[in-house]
Amino acid sequence: MICNVPKVTVTTWNARNVVLAGPTYRRYLEKTLLALKNKDVATVIGQPGMGKTTILRKTQEEAQGFTFFLDLASKAEIEDEFWGKVDQFRVRELVLPALRSKGSKLGYGFLKRLMSVKFEDWLLKVCNKYDDLHLRLFCLNYTKDFDGMLRFLMDLKTLTEVNLLVDEVRDSHIPKIHRLINAGLGIPVIMAIPTDSYSRVTDLAVRRRLDESRVSLDTVLTQDDIKEIIDAYCHPLAEDLFPIIYSLWSGGELNTVSSMLQYMKSQVENFERECGENLECLKERLRSSHSLKNPEEDSREMEKLLREILSAEGKEMGITYVHPRGKRVEANGKFMVVGIFFIKDGQAVLGQVKLMNDDRESDDEVNLLSEVRTVEHEKKEYTVGSKFVLTNSGRLRVSDSITKIEISTFEAVRILRGDTEILREVLRPLHDLNEVRNTTVESTA
């Protein structure tokens, strides 16, 4: 595999597979690490797949002493997950030196040693005989409920650093989480809460406590974050993958880090069936998936597709006529052919598609379109009520009389390959052209 994207979702990755990339995530990791250092509380909130678990796992890597990572995704009670994560052998190793130093106080004297009674075996026999903190830890002599968990943590923290990382906290867990925070344990608690669970917290005191330490992952990713995440998982193809994935992210079709990684994985795997691990072949396939081969021909094809949809669905927009081909118009003694001409509310609407592979800021036909005032059709003259240009160029300048509808090159390629849903989204501004005429409209597809 050219790319190194895990097959499973973020929630189930183990610590060795966790990659944290992007300045936003590093900044938020610093917040959780600061909470760890200050023995404070931090709450990471976000939609599933946005990287909450990743931040917790990276926090775990930096933690010292005993760190309990609790995944409550399928657990009704916190204590059920907690007691399953307690490593009794590790706890015994921690407390044995202290217990050996006071063996005689626990009834393990010379006679027991002479009879070859193992110290550890003796401790197990006297678990309930002495009220001793170290013995209690050695024997795990606690009720296996929430109160027992709190007492165990209080005892353990007297001997070592203790950290509690809690993933997938649901609203049903919040009352006990609140008790945990207010128990005075003096240990850091870092939690990850899905957005919908957080939104259902109605207790104002709890909400205020969570908000004090809140790190929100919803809609925070920047262009630099996305670029770095792609590079971290697929460095050889990052340059070619980025414009595709960023376009889908900007349009809302990819809305979590998990969906981004899985899309990247599926795209590369599809092209690997043709190319194997031939890097140049893979790059060429990716480039062709989001680039225009012939912008002029592609523009004419896009105009044709627009006319077809306008003809089929124009009545809903108040359109009474759509010209089946380009329309010859005149302005200031000059003639040109516009790709789109239709009649709406008794006025003419003119449109052009200008797909480009360059960064030019001006186009002669677009400039001339701004001068067109009337159009003759079937021996009747129509006033031009609105004009628009559909383009993939952010640099192309249009006059105030023209509505600019901007799409990405990748969206244009997908439309040309038959993605009519994107095209319908593109057509939304045409519903109210008179109202939006002097604005630039970006597609949200």
Domain ranges of the chain: 10-86+140-216, 223-289, 295-442
**Which residues fall within 8 angstroms of residue 65, CB to CB, at 6 or more apart?**
160, 161, 162, 163
Question: What is the mean predicted confidence (pLDDT) over 56-79?
Answer: 91
- Quote the pLDDT of residue 145: 95
User: Look-up: residue for tokens 């306008």?
Assistant: 310
The span from the CA of 420 to the CA of 415, in Å, is: 6
φ, ψ of residue 115 in degrees (nearest 5):
-85, 10
Vertex 406: Cα angle to 401 and 412 (nearest 5): 135
| Dihedral class, residue 376 (left if φ above 0, else alpha if ψ from -120 to 50, else beta) | beta
- Quote the pLDDT of residue 442: 42
φ, ψ of residue 183 in degrees (nearest 5):
-80, -10
Q: How sure is the predictor about 246, in pLDDT bands with cuts at 50, 70 and 90?
A: confident
pLDDT tops 80 at residue 13: no
Mean pLDDT of the chain: 87
pTM reported for the whole predicted model: 0.70
Instruction: Tell me which CATH homologous superfamily contains domain 10-86+140-216.
Output: P-loop containing nucleotide triphosphate hydrolases (3.40.50.300)
Beta-sheet strand order (sheet of 66-71) = 66-71, 162-167, 189-194, 41-46, 214-216
Tens digits of per-residue pLDDT, 214-235? 888 876 788 999 999 999 989 9
- Quote the pLDDT of residue 112: 79
Q: Which fold has domain 295-442?
A: Trna Endonuclease; Chain: A, domain 1 (3.40.1350)
Tens digits of per-residue pLDDT, 108-134? 887 877 788 899 999 999 998 999 999
